[in-house]
Chain A
Amino acid sequence: KAGVTQTPRYLIKTRGQQVTLSCSPISGHRSVSWYQQTPGQGLQFLFEYFSETQRNKGNFPGRFSGRQFSNSRSEMNVSTLELGDSALYLCASSLGPQEGDGQYFGPGTRLTVL
């Protein structure tokens, strides 16, 4: 079974621009979560989607948004990029939205904001 895929793997943007990251979950998985990883803040939860609905949201500004499509693929968008948005963005998929479901992570998208 193919794992979680994320595209692109690397991205360089400048301040003020916007970016869209894509995540394809493991086949059969219907829940997708997004995390931001930085050296200073560690791994932080951004949001979770299940059945095209956002079920949970972390403590991030409104510039961070996401969506999920009917095939469970998900995208996240960051508008008006800031230098502090430079991070590894990780997507995770699970069978469903239950807290006990194991989450499987993709390789991440490394975003650099100049």
Chain B
Amino acid sequence: AQKVTQAQTEISVVEKEDVTLDCVYETRDTTYYLFWYKQPPSGELVFLIRRNSFDEQNEISGRYSWNFQKSTSSFNFTITASQVVDSAVYFCALSAYNQGGKLIFGQGTELSVKP
């Protein structure tokens, strides 16, 4: 069975702090994809990144970076120099082999960035 765990329910930081959101996944498949989405108060899920199981290279996009480690089944997300606009709920998701578009989501981490 596939499962995604985001152990941090809520995180509160002060603006300009760095923050890491943890994501641990479970799957028996060797081919799978991992995603991060951001859900601001408006409710729409915003796609942030997709990573396949064969690509363990870390990725950086502006203030965002992702660390994928198959050895620990983790796909962590770091925001550097956080800003108030980063306040949202962040979801990690898994798409397993031969499951098509079915995404399995973690419970989400609510990030609050205070000025």
Question: What are the interface flags for A21-56 relative to B under an 8 Å C-beta threshold, 1 for contact and 0 otherwise?
Answer: 000000000010101000000111100101000011
Interface: A66 (CB within 8 A): no
* Number of chain B residues whose Cβ lies closer than 8 Å to a Cβ of chain A: 29
Q: Tell me the interface secondary structure of chain A in the complex.
A: strand
CA distance A42 to B97 in the complex (A): 22
CB distance B50 to A45 under 8 Å? no
Q: How far is the CB of A104 from chain B (nearest CB, A)?
A: 6
Q: Write out the residue numbers on chain A whose beta carbons fall within 8 Å of the beta carbon of B32.
A: 99
Task: Pick from B47, B101, B106, B108: contact of A99, CB below 8 A.
Answer: B101
Task: Pick from B31, B99, B105: contact of A42, CB below 8 A.
Answer: B105
A residues lining the B interface (CB < 8 Å): 31, 33, 35, 42-45, 48, 50, 55-56, 58, 88, 90, 92, 94, 97-108, 110
B residues lining the A interface (CB < 8 Å): 31-33, 35, 37, 42-47, 50, 52, 91, 93, 95-108
